[in-house]
Structure 1
């Protein structure tokens, strides 16, 4: 008895029956094509028949199992011709969907369609993908919205990307959403995929159809410094904007959600700035990169932007300055040092915060001290004192008491002289202080060093 390549389950038998039906259909098609060849215009039978060739849909668990597990033996047994290699594979999964009639979320079955090659490429099953291609799988088929090359890049499967490109897959194939495979290189491990695409002729400045997002925007928004550097080496334009008016630099600063992730975004932003990105360009709602960095509590990133010409006092469409954004973010961003960000903004020419905004940093005594020392006269404590937590007040009573005692009182001449020098230096305060022949203590005092009390 011949050895079976896999167990003959009911699902397998259905697959074999489907394959037999395809073969019978193919024989009929060839016979019809031969007759047409004798009577009609001279064109290859296969190409004429392909115009009306139906795509078969399959939900067979045996087929699904072979593809999703990467079982090469079963894939070779099930996919033995072009029709099988291009079948539509349907999967049904339950997903939460809002039901207006019932008023709550319900599990709703959702059918997804794709093709065997896309499944194999997305999972890195190179041998299976090669077999499917050799059987005639269409390289750029977009069943389900994306081609196999899109999914291989999205999953950082560089071996499959190389295979597809070697067999002639289009490096700039568009998904139904109007994105190229390069747009889907969104993980650190996809760098090799991006390199292969660019070597194969991928357009580095390709803009997505509706959003006009480029691969550089995508890489910057995810803090992928190496991707950013690669795209810049291949001619990426740092000045291109999305449909919302955002540059790649603004995307990088918007993506830096909190100081913890700020380092990688800072590295990406530095690459963009060194390539000529303008730190002052505003995007959606006149939000500049500095507004985004401040709203995310990224002090080092904000200082980088300020060193490259960002304006510390420019308002957005809502009238909020970067200082306002930083104050509003104080309580939303845990485990950070807002005084670093406030000092940078003030050293680069930002005006003191509005007194009513001080309540946002009332529970950060070091940050509050920096802001209070930017005034020639300490504002009334009525704007912030009630926001201080009792246990924090007890821990930092010396500072809070000194701040209250100096409210609406004349400041020392030494402090007024400090403010006069800072006003004269303007937005060059930090750079100038480093060049002035001053003792370190006096230089620190000029730059609003935290002392733990107000006097």
Structure 2
């Protein structure tokens, strides 16, 4: 069944009863901070009392002190009922179904940043590393960037490398800029900077790169993060950063992450899932600044992924999604770095961007056919840019201007060195721009 989780309803029915099934508990040796591997002989208690729940969720310290007075109460399992929307195949509609959730007093207070309440629970013997509801308290403090609670838990000997039931360490849950102090503390207390998630084998560096967290990336590299580590899909942190930079408003921070990784020795040519290189990913996101960085660090502009697509092909497929991102500049950059001539059949992907089409058509010494794209141009786009489209049709099977033919000859001679060679030619800047496929709004 497909599930849609709703916020839990108000807590209900004051009831405290013994558990029907034992939960594994790890206990702490008093004084030495060591851990026993054997399960405690005590049976965990489940609590559904609304007064207890409300005291924890609101951080009512006085009530918490009156309720949690010993180790048994400090380690209660908070049992609540949340309603989820579940698709019923039998009824053919979404229905609300009650679902039990478990957590602990320590997890609740930590996630909300109630430091004094957390300290009281720990003093009463709350198991700092207890996994309840799939996570330990340290997971919640990092996920919710509660730095003071993180430090308190670590001071009480919380395991900085403890894994959740999903196989995530606390460091893997530092996914926002606000979580940087938590990440710093975890490392200071012995967190493994190269610890991988259980399923995807992603390192903290992968996580930071995926979320565009430059300060985290810098921190992890300072602690010896393996920049070349590849996750289960074969992707490095650089792959993750380039693949995730898909929102123009976040372009700046991903650029900084990629720049730091490349300057620290990341390989720009390592391919990950589906043989996508970082350049494939950056082109798919129409991120020209990252593309330029990758090309400067040796990315192969003509490598193909498992589907046979080059970075240019990926960029062309993304044109319609990033019309405001000046895709024509990205295509020109790739062509100036030696991208192979673009198959005319690919022109249909950029009919909504006549500027991109102009760049491509100006790499041809003649226009043999428009059949591959002309029928895809919407009438309103044609009307708005009729000067360009009409000029393209007028040149069909006609010789191009001598100046254009000279441009084609020079570019062919320079090959993959166009971006460097053009700048070294003793020509006026206007001619250098012309050789670099500058735009005029029409073809000649």
TM-score, with length taken from structure 2: 0.90
Matched, 1:384 2:408: no
Distance 1:274 1:50 in 2: 48
Cα-to-partner distance string for 1:354-398 (whole Å, 9 max, x where unaligned): 212111111111111001111122242221122222222222211
Asked whether the 8 Å contact 1:172–1:180 carries over to 2, the reply is yes
SS at match of 1:107: strand
Equivalent runs, 1:17-166 vs 2, <5 Å: 51-166=40-155
Residue of structure 2 equivalent to 1:362: 351
Distance 1:210 1:176 in 2: 11
Cα-to-partner distance string for 1:381-430 (whole Å, 9 max, x where unaligned): 22112222222222221111111111232222322222222223222321
Cα-to-partner distance string for 1:11-35 (whole Å, 9 max, x where unaligned): 99957xx59x99xxxxxxxxxxxxx
- Tell me how large the CA RMSD over aligned residues is: 2.2
Matched, 1:322 2:311: yes
SS at match of 1:239: coil
Cα-to-partner distance string for 1:35-78 (whole Å, 9 max, x where unaligned): xxxxxxxxxxxx9x973201011111111111111111111111
Distance 2:156 2:279 in 1: 46
Matched, 1:337 2:356: no
Q: How many angstroms does 1:198 deviate by?
A: 0.8
Matched, 1:168 2:151: no
Pick the structure with more helix per residue. Answer: 1
**Length, aligned pairs only:** 418
Residue of structure 1 equivalent to 2:417: 428
Q: How many angstroms does 1:326 deviate by?
A: 1.0
Task: Rate the CA distance shift 1:80–1:315 in 2: closer, same or farther, 3 A.
Answer: same
Distance 2:302 2:39 in 1: 64
Residue of structure 1 equivalent to 2:4: none
Asked whether the 8 Å contact 1:259–1:299 carries over to 2, the reply is no
Matched, 1:179 2:168: yes
Task: Rate the CA distance shift 1:82–1:411 in 2: closer, same or farther, 3 A.
Answer: same
Distance 1:214 1:12 in 2: 41
Q: How many angstroms does 1:282 deviate by?
A: 0.3
Residue of structure 2 equivalent to 1:216: 205
Specify which of 312, 320, 330 is matched with residue 301 of structure 2: 312
Task: Rate the CA distance shift 1:423–1:149 in 2: closer, same or farther, 3 A.
Answer: same
Asked whether the 8 Å contact 1:355–1:379 carries over to 2, the reply is no
Distance 1:335 1:13 in 2: 55
Distance 2:114 2:68 in 1: 15
Distance 2:158 2:338 in 1: 53
Distance 1:367 1:75 in 2: 65
Distance 2:61 2:140 in 1: 20
Asked whether the 8 Å contact 1:258–1:298 carries over to 2, the reply is no
Residue of structure 1 equivalent to 2:24: none
Residue of structure 1 equivalent to 2:26: none
Distance 2:302 2:93 in 1: 46
Asked whether the 8 Å contact 1:205–1:237 carries over to 2, the reply is yes
Cα-to-partner distance string for 1:179-228 (whole Å, 9 max, x where unaligned): 11000000110011111111111111111112100000001011111111
Distance 2:235 2:166 in 1: 19
Q: How many angstroms does 1:104 deviate by?
A: 3.3
Residue of structure 2 equivalent to 1:235: 224
Distance 2:171 2:239 in 1: 20
Residue of structure 2 equivalent to 1:251: 240
Deviates more, 1:263-272 or 1:417-426: 417-426
Provide structure 1 residue ranges, at least 5 long, that are not aligned to the other structure.
1-10, 23-46
Q: Which runs of 4+ in 1 moved over 4 A?
A: 11-15
Distance 1:409 1:124 in 2: 73
Distance 2:368 2:223 in 1: 54
